[in-house]
Structure formats: structure tokens, C-alpha cells
């Protein structure tokens, strides 16, 4: 279940970046575009916290599963 949640999070972050790119191409730089980029970066950071292993080779995903 956690793998599905992380996959959906990655897909949503990629869609946020795609939406920001489309907004940038449409009317140039806007506040919504930067908020979408920031939200995508936060999601990427959260997923990285869960999946990147520590010095002992353990990650939160392996410990939760």
C-alpha cells in the first residue's frame, strides 16, 4: 500500500511540474507556476525521505513494510 502511495505522490509531483511548464509557456512567469513548482519539490523531498536509505542501509519504506 505504501508503494502505491509513493507512486501516486511521484506522479502528482510530475503532473505539477508539467502544469507549471504549461502555465509558463502560456502566459510567462506567474505566482501559480512558482507555487506548483514549490509543491512538486516538497513532494519529491517527502518521497526521498521515505525511500533514501541511511548509513545502515535502512529506509522508512523497508522498515514500514
Q: Are 61 and 51 in contact (CB under 8 A)?
A: yes
Tens place of pLDDT for every residue, the chain, 65 residues?
Answer: 888 999 999 999 999 999 999 999 988 888 999 999 999 999 999 999 999 998 998 888 888 76
**pLDDT at res. 61:** 85
Q: Where are the alpha helices (DSSP H) in the chain?
A: 2-27, 31-51, 60-64
Q: Give the residue among 6, 18, 15 at the shortest CA–CA distance from 45.
A: 6
**pLDDT at res. 1:** 87
**pLDDT at res. 22:** 94
pTM of the full structure: 0.86
Domain boundaries, the chain: 8-64
**pLDDT at res. 31:** 92
Amino acid at each position: 500500500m505504501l508503494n502505491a502511495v509513493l507512486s501516486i505522490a511521484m506522479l502528482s509531483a510530475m503532473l505539477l511540474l508539467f502544469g507549471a511548464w504549461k502555465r509558463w509557456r502560456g502566459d510567462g512567469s506567474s505566482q501559480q507556476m512558482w507555487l506548483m513548482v514549490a509543491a512538486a519539490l516538497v513532494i519529491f523531498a517527502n518521497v526521498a525521505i521515505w525511500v533514501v536509505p541511511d548509513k545502515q542501509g535502512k529506509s522508512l519504506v523497508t522498515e514500514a513494510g
